[in-house]
Chain A
C-alpha cells in the first residue's frame, strides 16, 4: 500500500513537472508576455512591404518598441497596410518616419522609426501614417536605365542637329577667329601695360601731368584764371582762389 502511494506520489511529481516544463516552453517561446504588454496599434501604408513578415521587429533609435501585427493588401490596390503594434511609452511622435529596412545584406526585414521633431504630438493608437518605401535595387536600376536611355536619345538628337559638316566647319573657323582676336587683344593689353607703367613712373607728358604736383597747381590756377576772365563759367571762384589784386572783404585799407 505504501509502495503504491509512493508510486502515485512519484507519478504526480512527474506529471506536474512535465506539464510545468511544457507550459513554460510554450509560454516562453510563444512570447505570451509580449501579448500582455500594454500597447496600441497604428497602421502604416507602404507601396511595397518588401518581404516584411508578421512578428517582425519595430525599432526606434535601435530599441525594440513593437512588432508587426499584420500585413494586408489595400482595397485601393496601391500598396499594403502594415499593422504595427507599438508598446506603450515609446516616445514616438506623429511626424516620425517609418521605413522598412534589412539587417545586413541578407538579413531579415524590420521597421525602423526615425524621429523628425521633438515638438509634434505623440503618436496615438489607430492613427494612419504613410511609410517611406524601402529602397529597391531593381527599381533603382530600372530608373537609372531609363535615365541613361533618355540621355542617349538627347545626345543622338544633338549630334544629328548640330554636328553636321557645315556647322562643324563654321564652329572651327569661329574658334580660329576667336583665337586670332585673343592674340591681338593680348598684344594691345601688353602695349597698354607698358604705357601705364611709364605714366606711373612719371615719364612722358601724361606721366608728368599725373605725377608733378606743381604742374597740377598751375593747371588749377589756369582754370581759375579762365573763370575769372569769363572764359569759363563763374562759380564762387573768388572765394576759393581770391584775386591777389583785390583786398580781402573786411580788411582795412592800408
Chain B
C-alpha cells in the first residue's frame, strides 16, 4: 500500500516537473520573442519545413476526411430523407473539429517528431552547449523560430484542409451519392457561419503552441544518445497528441462561452 502511494506520488511529481519544464520553456520563448529580434531567416526555413512540406499530407488527409464524413453523414441523413443536410454537417464538422484535430495530429506526428529528433540530436552531440558557449540562447535560436513558424503555418494548413475537405465532401455527396447539389450548397451556406471557421483556427493556434513546446522540451531534455533521441521523438508525438485531444475539449467548452455556436 505504502509503495502504491509512493509510486503515485512519484508519478505526480514527475508530471508536475514535466509541466513545469514545459511552462518554463514557454515563458522563456515568449520572453525571447519580446526582448530579442526574431531570426526571420530561420523562421522562413521553419515555415517551409512545417508548412510547405506538410501541405501534401494535410491536403490528402483533409480530402479523405471530408469524403468519408460526407458519405457517413449521407447514410444517416438519408434514413430520414434529409440528404441535403449533409452539406452543412460536413462543413461545420470540418471547420470546428475534424480539420483542426486531424491537421494538428498530423503536424504533431510529422513536425513534432522532427523537432524533437533534431533538437535532441543537437543536445546529445553537445551542439546546444556549443551555442551557449557562443552566447547564443538555445531557446531564442531553436525554439522561437519554430514557435513563430508553427503558429503561423498551422492555421493556414487548417484553412486549406477545411477547404479541400468541403470540396471533396461535395464531390462525394453530389457526384457519387446523387445529393441535390443546389440544396447541398445552399444549406451549407445558410447553416455554416464565419464563427465556425474562427473557432477551428483559434483552436489550432493553441494546438500549435502545445506541439512546439512539448516537442522542443523533449528535444532539449533528451539524454542517452541515439536511444534517448528515439525515446524523445516518440514521447514528443504521444504527449503532443494527448495534449491536443485533452486541450481540445476544454478549448471547445471555453470557446462555446466566448463564441456561442
Interface residues of A (CB under 8 A from B): 7-8, 10-11, 14-15, 17-19, 21-22, 24-31, 57
Instruction: Determine whether the beta carbon of A22 is less than 8 Å from that of B156.
Output: yes
Q: Chain B nearest CB: distance from A15 CB in Å?
A: 7
Give chain B residues whose Cβ lies under 8 Å from the Cβ of A14.
47-48, 51-52, 55, 153, 156
Give chain A residues whose Cβ lies under 8 Å from the Cβ of B44.
7-8, 11
Any chain A CB within 8 A of the CB of B147? no
Partner of A11, one of B52, B194, B196, B198: B52
**A-B residue pairs in contact (CB < 8 Å), sample of 23:** A7-B45, A8-B44, A11-B48, A11-B51, A11-B52, A15-B47, A18-B153, A18-B155, A21-B160, A21-B163, A22-B197, A25-B159, A25-B197, A26-B194, A27-B194, A28-B189, A29-B189, A30-B193, A30-B194, A30-B197, A31-B189, A31-B193, A57-B190
Give chain B residues whose Cβ lies under 8 Å from the Cβ of A22.
155-156, 159, 197, 201
Give chain A residues whose Cβ lies under 8 Å from the Cβ of B194.
25-27, 29-31
CB contacts under 8 Å to A, within B62-99, are: 91, 95
Give chain A residues whose Cβ lies under 8 Å from the Cβ of B143.
none
Q: A14-B55, A14-B156 are contacts. A25–B47 as well, Cβ < 8 Å? A: no
Any chain A CB within 8 A of the CB of B162? yes
Give chain A residues whose Cβ lies under 8 Å from the Cβ of B152.
15
Q: A11-B52, A29-B193, A29-B196 are contacts. A17–B160 as well, Cβ < 8 Å? A: yes
New contact pairs (16) apart from A22-B201, A30-B194, CB-CB < 8 Å: A7-B44, A8-B44, A10-B48, A11-B51, A15-B156, A18-B159, A24-B163, A25-B163, A25-B197, A26-B194, A26-B197, A27-B194, A28-B189, A29-B95, A30-B197, A31-B189
Give chain B residues whose Cβ lies under 8 Å from the Cβ of A8.
44
Instruction: Determine whether the beta carbon of B51 is less than 8 Å from that of A29.
Output: no
Q: Which residue of B lies closest to A10 (CB)?
A: B52
Q: Chain B nearest CB: distance from A9 CB in Å?
A: 10
Main secondary structure of the interface of A (DSSP, over half): helix
Give chain A residues whose Cβ lies under 8 Å from the Cβ of B190.
57
Give chain B residues whose Cβ lies under 8 Å from the Cβ of A25.
95, 159, 162-163, 194, 197
Any chain A CB within 8 A of the CB of B192? yes
Give chain B residues whose Cβ lies under 8 Å from the Cβ of A15.
47, 51, 152, 156
Give chain A residues whose Cβ lies under 8 Å from the Cβ of B189.
28-29, 31
Q: Chain B nearest CB: distance from A21 CB in Å?
A: 5
CB contacts under 8 Å to A, within B185-204, are: 189-190, 192-194, 196-198, 201
CA distance A27 to B42 in the complex (A): 32
CA distance A27 to B198 in the complex (A): 11
Any chain A CB within 8 A of the CB of B157? yes
Give chain A residues whose Cβ lies under 8 Å from the Cβ of B155.
18, 22
Q: Chain A nearest CB: distance from B45 CB in Å?
A: 7
- B4-45: contact bitstring with A at CB < 8 Å (1 yes, 0 no)? 000000000000000000000000000000000000000011
CA distance A29 to B201 in the complex (A): 14
Instruction: Determine whether the beta carbon of B198 is less than 8 Å from that of A26.
Output: yes
CA distance A129 to B159 in the complex (A): 43
Give chain B residues whose Cβ lies under 8 Å from the Cβ of A30.
193-194, 197
Q: Chain A nearest CB: distance from B167 CB in Å?
A: 11
- B158-176: contact bitstring with A at CB < 8 Å (1 yes, 0 no)? 0110110000000000000
Instruction: Determine whether the beta carbon of A18 is less than 8 Å from that of B47.
Output: no
Instruction: Determine whether the beta carbon of B156 is less than 8 Å from that of A19.
Output: yes
- B41-61: contact bitstring with A at CB < 8 Å (1 yes, 0 no)? 000110110011001000000
Most buried by A among B55, B155, B156, B196: B156
